[in-house]
Amino acid sequence: MKIDSNAVRRRLDELEKELGSEELLQDRERFKKCSKEHSYLSEVFAVSSERNKLSQQIEDNKNLLKTEADPEFVSMIEEEIPLLESQLEAISQNLSDLLIPPSDDDDCATILELRAGAGGQEAALFVADCVRMYQLYAAKMGWKVEPLSATPSDLGGFKEYVMICSGKNAWRLLRHEAGTHRVQRVPDTEAQGRVHTSTITVAALQEVPEDSDEFFIPEQDLRMEATRSSGAGGQHVNTTDSAVRITHIPTGIAVFCQEERSQHKNKDRAMRLIRAKVKEIEERKRKEEVDTLRQQQVGTGDRSEKIRTYNFSQNRVTDHRLNMTRYDLDRVINGELEPFSRGLVAYFQKLQQTTTSFPWVLE
């Protein structure tokens, strides 16, 4: 797939002229749309230009090989060509990812809810590993991460952990993490060195802004209870009713939050999760896809259900939707998730049979 760089440049010039007009500054929605398109096209133009530059450099080097007589210089060129071709392959993949049509929801803040499934304490420990993995991935992507709630396990893991990731393309790249994640490794608690299989479930929800005009929860639909915090935390724990449990009465969804010492802050955190969960239920009802919250996303957490498998003894990670296996689990667990997340964006676009309809794309 080729890009008409001149057409992209012309559109960028049009957008820059429009963004500088007084009239556009009065229209916030239009200004936001133009700014987003300008940012997107600027990235496409830069990546396309870099790809063209690398292609030309490879062609020039190959032509040099036909005429160059100096053995030392020939050797240098022969060593450089594979490196340039590797760079070209990577940047071409980057461009292909960029050409997947952007969505208005791409930059939405994303709530990740991780829960231990089959495997007891080992599953809880793997929740902690995945929390760290997503936090490191977020740091690489420049996203902000905010914990919402956590339920620690006895051995230092988490029975449940909820956090929000916000930033450019957060929803675009994290939404397909939802499902059952399976881990195969020798637990620290295993004395005989046997490999165990455990699972965790991940739900990915769009955060709903409190002032959203499209989604509103009436006060009478909520029941709030103040309770005392429990667990480790020093003298302050259990001395005040700072923990909050909020129940959405029509659906029965309940959220408990005790991370903050302030009841008001815990209420705010719990409401953010309630809004996201209730919105998901409403959307799923409209689409008639499932009857219960997150059923399609996370399943039951049974070992037979899985979207991705992490095998530590073989340093292997497999995404079963993409049929992609990589032998760099040590890097993936340290936040190198982009090959999977970008591959999944392309995979689900293909499933939905959406097509690229940009006038500056030359087939």
Domain limits for position 114: 110-208+292-351
Q: Do residues 106 and 171 lie in contact, with contact meaning Cβ atoms separated by under 8 Å?
A: yes
Global pTM reads 0.72
Q: What CATH number is given to the structural domain containing 299?
A: 3.30.70.1660
Q: What CATH number is given to the structural domain containing 268?
A: 3.30.160.20
pLDDT for residue 291 is more than 70 = no
Mapping DSSP to helix (H, G, I), strand (E, B) and coil, where does residue 344 land?
helix
Q: Do residues 157 and 133 lie in contact, with contact meaning Cβ atoms separated by under 8 Å?
A: no
**DSSP string of 84-105?**
HHHHHHHHHHHHHHHTSPP-TT
Domains held by the chain: number: 3
pLDDT for residue 40 is more than 50 = yes
List the single range of 2-11, 159-168, 308-317 with lowest mean pLDDT: 2-11
Query: pLDDT band at 234, cuts 50/70/90?
Result: very low
Q: Does 52 fall in a domain?
A: yes
Mean pLDDT of the chain: 85
List the single range of 61-70, 128-137, 176-185, 292-301 with lowest mean pLDDT: 292-301
pLDDT digits (tens, 9 = 90+) for 60-103: 999 999 888 888 999 999 999 999 999 998 898 888 878 887 78
Query: pLDDT band at 45, cuts 50/70/90?
Result: very high
Per-residue confidence (pLDDT) for residue 194, from 0 to 100 = 86
Higher local confidence (pLDDT), 35 or 239: 35
Higher local confidence (pLDDT), 231 or 243: 243
Query: pLDDT band at 134, cuts 50/70/90?
Result: very high
Does residue 133 sit in the same domain as residue 79? no
Per-residue confidence (pLDDT) for residue 124, from 0 to 100 = 95
Beta pairing partners, 343: none
Placement of tokens 């060129």 in the chain = 77
CA distance 7 to 13: 10
Placement of tokens 């195969």 in the chain = 184
Averaged pLDDT for residues 129-134? 97
Q: Does 104 fall in a domain?
A: no
Per-residue confidence (pLDDT) for residue 292, from 0 to 100 = 47
Q: How many other β-carbons are positioned within 10 Å of the β-carbon of residue 340?
A: 23
pLDDT for residue 334 is more than 80 = yes
Q: Do residues 183 and 198 lie in contact, with contact meaning Cβ atoms separated by under 8 Å?
A: yes
Does residue 137 sit in the same domain as residue 186? yes
Share of the chain above pLDDT 90, in %: 44
Q: Does 230 fall in a domain?
A: yes
b/e per residue, 95-128, with b = 16+ CB within 10 A?
A: bebbbbeeeeebbbbbbbbbbbbbbbbbbbbbbb
Does residue 94 sit in the same domain as residue 232? no
Per-residue confidence (pLDDT) for residue 138, from 0 to 100 = 97
Per-residue confidence (pLDDT) for residue 213, from 0 to 100 = 63
pLDDT digits (tens, 9 = 90+) for 175-204: 999 999 999 999 876 767 788 999 999 999
Domain boundary among 232, 264, 287: 287
Does residue 163 sit in the same domain as residue 263? no
Query: pLDDT band at 161, cuts 50/70/90?
Result: very high
Averaged pLDDT for residues 157-162? 94
